[in-house]
Amino acid sequence: MASNNIKIHQQCRVAPPSAPQTSLPLVFFDMFWLRFHPVERIFFYTLPITHSNPSIFFTQVVPKLKTSLSHTLQHFPPLAGNVVWSDSSSKPVVQYTPGDAVSVVLAESEADFDHALDNAPKEASESRCLVPHLESLDSRASVMALQITLFPNRGFAIGISTHHAVLDGKSSTLFLKAWASLCKTNDDHSESSSPTPSLAPELEPFFDRTVIETATVFGSSSSIDNLFSKLLSDEDSDPRCLKLLSFHPKLEDHARGSFVLTGADLDKLRNRVLSKWDSVDIVEEESNSNSGVSSKPTKLSTFVLTCAYATACIAKAWHGVEKEKNKFCFGFSVDCRARLEPPIPENYFGNCVWGHLVDGKPSEFIEEEGFVIIAKRIHSKIKQMLDESVFHGADTVAPRFIALVKEGIEMFGIAGSNRFGVYGIDFGWGKPSKVEIVSIDRAVTIGLAENRDNKGGVEVGVVLKKPVMKLFGTLFYGGLSDE
C-alpha cells in the first residue's frame, strides 16, 4: 500500500451542527502527553459488493459516515477544536470555537484488501498512507483528523489520528463507539434540518475536570510541573510551543505484523509461569531493594502474560540478531479512573492514565526464563500499585526513565488494550475485519487488542527490523508449543 496506490478524492471538514464555544483545561494527566506523537489507528471493514462499488460508496456510505460524524461531534465538540496556549494562561487548553471542524480525507486505494487484513508481517510503511496527518504548529495543534479509504468492491478503512494530550485510548474508543452507534441506528438526515440524535448514557462523554484534584495526588502542583519539565524538555523551542515533537516512524527495513494468543495459549502461558513461580529466582539490585516480588498468586491476568511474553520474545529476537542489544526495560500505563479517591466516571473524557516502569535488571529479558521473570516483575508492580497507590513512586519515574535512556537501555511500551472492545465498533456494516495501531512504529511499542475471532484471546501488534521480526515470529509461536 505505497502512497502512490492512494487516490485522494476529497479533503473536507466536518463540524458539529451548532455547538457553543467550549474550553477544557488540560490537567496533569494530559500535560504528560502535550508534545507526544499522535495516536494513529486503522479500522478495516468488509463491505458487500452493493456498498463497496465506488459510485455507491461515495454517494451513500460516505454521506452517512459524515452526517453521523457531525452529530457525534455535537456531543464531543473538543474533538473539532485545537490545543492552544494563550499568553495569559499558565496551562494550555482545548478550545472549540464555532467554525472549527475535523479534517476528513476521502480516498481510494488500489492495494489488495486481503493483504491488508493479513496478520503476516508486511512492509511497515504500507499502513502509513491510510492514516491522516495531524496538524500541529507552534501556536496551535489539531485534536483529531480522519481518513476514509475505499478498497473498491471489497471494503473500506477508517484511519484516525488523535492528539494524546486531549484523550487517552479509552476516551478515543468511547468517541468511536458513539460515532458507530449514531451511524448504525440513525437515518441519514441532513445536518441543517435534523436535531442531534441522543447517545446511550454510557456513550456520553463526561468533561468535568474538577473531579481530578491535583493536590490530593502528589501533594503539590510544583512537583508535577517539575516532573513534566524533565520529560518534555526541548532546548530548541519555546516552553509554550505546541508543535508535536518528531517521533519519526521506523519504516525502512522494518516489518509490521500481528500475532495472536488464543485463550488456550494464555492458559498454557499462565500455567507455565505459575508452575515455575517458586523455582525461578529473581535477584534484586540495591537500587530496587524495595521492589521485592510478591508471593505466588492464584491467577495471572491476560495483560501480565501478554506483555511479559511479547517483550521477552522481542528482546531475545533482537539480541539474537544484534548481539550487543542486551538491555531492556518495560513501561506501561494504568487507567486511573476507578483508582482515584473518589473514583471518577468511566466515561471521563481526557487522559486518566499514569505510567509505571517495571523493576528489574535490564538483562533479565534475554535470560532463559525471561518470560517467567518478567511476568513476576509486572505482576508484582501491579500488586504494589493496588496495595499502596496507583501513584506509588511517581516522583522517581522521570529521573529513572532519563537515566535508563542515557545508559542506552531499550524501552518497551504498550499501546491499546485488550479491554477496549474495538472489535465491537460496528457502523452498520458489521464488526471490523481488522484493527491496527499504526503509531507503534514510532517507538518500540506493542499494540494490544482483543482477538476478533477468539473470546478471551488477544492480538499483539509489533513493528521490528525484518530479521528481528522473522526470529520473533519463530520464538513467539515456537514458545507456545513448548511444555
Euclidean distance between CA atoms 230 and 212, whole angstroms: 23
What tens digit of pLDDT does each residue of 149-182 get?
999 999 999 999 999 999 999 999 999 999 999 9
Q: How far apart are CA 107 and CA 61, in angstroms?
A: 13
Tell me the three cell numbers of residue 22: 467550549
**How does DSSP classify residue 100?**
B
Q: Which DSSP category does 98 fall into?
A: B
Q: Out of 3.30.559.10, 3.20.20.70, 3.10.450.50, 3.10.180.10, select the CATH number for domain 254-481.
A: 3.30.559.10
Task: Specify the 3-state DSSP secondary structure of 45.
Answer: strand
How confident is the model over 62-89, as a mean pLDDT?
96
Count Cα atoms within 13 angstroms, Cβ side, for 69: 23
Query: Is 138 part of the annotated catalytic residue set?
Result: no
Q: In this model, does residue 45 exceed pLDDT 50? A: yes
Rounded to an integer, what distance in angstroms lies between the CA atom of residue 261 and that of residue 263?
7
At 439, which amino acid appears? Answer: S
CA distances from 95 to 171, 172, 410, 414 (A): 17, 17, 37, 29
What is the CATH topology of the domain spanning 3-231? Chloramphenicol Acetyltransferase (3.30.559)
Percent of the chain with pLDDT over 90: 77
Neighbours of 234 (CB within 10 A): 12
Beta bridge partners of 411: 329
Domain ranges in the chain are: 3-231, 254-481
Q: Are strands 102-109 and 144-151 parallel, antiparallel or unpaired?
A: parallel
Q: For the ranges 116-130, 282-296, 361-375, which has the lowest average pLDDT?
A: 282-296
Reading the block at residue 67, the C-alpha cell is 452526517
149 within 8 A of 121, measured Cβ to Cβ? no
Region 264-275: what's the mean pLDDT? 97
Check for a shared fold between 3-231 and 254-481.
yes
pLDDT category at 223 given cuts 50, 70, 90 is low
Residue 64 above 80 pLDDT? yes
Catalytic position from the list 163, 164, 356, 379: 164
Among this protein's residues, is 164 annotated catalytic? yes
Which pLDDT band holds residue 16 (cuts at 50, 70, 90)?
Answer: very high
Strands (E) across 71-177 are located at 82-84, 93-96, 102-109, 122-123, 140-142, 144-151, 155-162
